[in-house]
Every structure is written in structure tokens, then in C-alpha cells.
Amino acid sequence: MEVRLLRHTPEPELLVASAAKLCYSKVGIEDITKNLSRKKQNEFIKKLLKMGHLSPFEHISFTFGIEGISRACTHQLVRHRIASFSQQSQRYVSFEKEEYIVPRTIKKGLKTKFERLAEDSLKFYQELIEEGVPQEDARYILPQAFCTKIVVTMNARELFHFFNLRCCNRAQWEIRQMAEAMLVEAKKIAPNIFMKAGAPCVQGACPEGELSCGRPKRRHLTAS
């Protein structure tokens, strides 16, 4: 899996603090970025997060390029509605080599069988195309394990929600790994904004009740 931050709003913490400044003072548009030192920016950000005043975070966005993930994973990802997605098309892009994800729980003989079936599906897919079956129909035989690529854009408020759900230990393992990698990248650009982002237990109590994993997350997702 590869997760890369392709683009982001320039000076995201300054922009969030500027929007907050406009909300809480008489300042005009021309002056909202003036006298906003790093310290002042951080103070505004902490205040907003503590109050739950999250609309200023909607002004900044982050665009990620992600590859080496399965279709099963992206089917979960695209359920996050306040986001934009551009995914590699199985209708227009043909597949010629075996690129698929094997869950770690599938081991030994089962793994061999899994790989054989995945490879056989690709061979049959190619045979269908050679026989004149449209690519958009031949793709039906491809399993969800096959790799895909996707570009994802979310604003920071939606990323808070995404990380809250998908960094949790109870999230499906592949999308959890992806979410954690995205959070590391986001923290490199806006460390104050995403300081407490992640699974709910990073900030407080676990909301899962009897379904809790019982293993609170450590705040280990830091930029390297």
C-alpha cells in the first residue's frame, strides 16, 4: 500500500485561524490574516476543537493518492460521502498481471488456493476479452482482492470523522492501515489541527461499549 499526500490547502492552520478570527472579532476581510503568529494560530485551533466549532476546518482540504489497495477496501472508502473520489476504472483500464491483496489470516494451503483462484480469474478475464466480450462485462469475474488506485479529497472536518471511524482497532484492517497512513501525512502539514485526530480512545472513552477491543490507541501516529 502506498499513500501519498498530493496536494493540500496552502498554510492550512493560518486559514483555519483566520476564519475563526472573523467569527470572534470585528476584524474585516482584509485584516483576518494579520497578527496571526504561530502561537495565535494554535490558540485558535485549540479553542475551536475544544468548543466543537468545526466549520472553520471545512475551508481546508487534503488530496491523497492511494494505490496497492483492494477493491474491497475502496468499497468502504467511497461510503464517506463528503469527499471526492477518482478511481482507476475497470471499464477502461485492462488488467494484464496479478496484483491482488491476500489477507494475513489466509495462510498455508489456503493462501496457495486463494492465489491460484485469483490468477485463474485473471486468465479467464483475459480470455473473455480475447473472445470479444466487452471489457466492461469481462471485469465481472475479477475478485474484490484485485488492486486498484484512487485519488481522494476531503476537507479537514470530514477527515476528523474519517479518522475517528477508520483508525479504530475495530475498523477493517486494510482501511485502518490506509487511514493511519493518511493521518501521518496530514500531521506533517497541519500538526496542531490533527494533534488529537484518530480513534475515539485517543481523546477519551471508547464508544464501542461491549464491542470495545479493550486496547486503547497510543498517540503514536506522528510525522516522521
The predicted pLDDT at position 224 comes to: 45
Residues 78 and 177 in one domain: yes
What is the pTM assigned to this prediction?
Answer: 0.88
Residue 158 Cα to chain centre, angstroms: 10
Across 175-206, b (16+ Cβ under 10 Å) vs e yields: bbbbbbbbbbbbbebbebbbbebbbbbbeeeb
Residue 224 lies in a domain: no
Residues 20 and 76 in one domain: yes
166 noted as active-site residue = yes
Distant-in-sequence contacts of 19-25, Cβ < 8 A, 24+ apart: 19/55, 19/56, 19/59, 20/44, 20/45, 20/47, 20/48, 20/53, 20/56, 23/53, 23/56
- By residue range, what is the domain housing residue 131? 94-141
Residues 187 and 165 in one domain: yes
Residues 194 and 118 in one domain: no
Residue 69 lies in a domain: yes
Residue 220 lies in a domain: no
The predicted pLDDT at position 26 comes to: 77
Domain count, the chain: 2
Residue 47 lies in a domain: yes
CATH of the domain at 49: 3.30.1360.170
Residues 57 and 29 in one domain: yes
Catalytically annotated residue among 166, 215, 218, 219: 166
Residues 119 and 26 in one domain: no
Contacts of residue 168, defined as CB under 8 A and 6 or more positions apart, other chains included, come to: 176, 199, 200, 201, 208, 213, 217
Residue 219 lies in a domain: no
For residue 33, what is its C-alpha cell?
490574516
Residues 133 and 158 in one domain: no
Please say whether the beta carbons of 101 and 69 come within 8 A.
Answer: yes
Q: What is the mean pLDDT of each run of 10 residues along the chain (224 residues)?
A: 97 94 80 86 91 94 97 95 94 87 92 94 95 95 95 97 93 96 97 92 73 63 49
Residue 128 lies in a domain: yes
Residues 34 and 77 in one domain: yes
Residue 221 lies in a domain: no
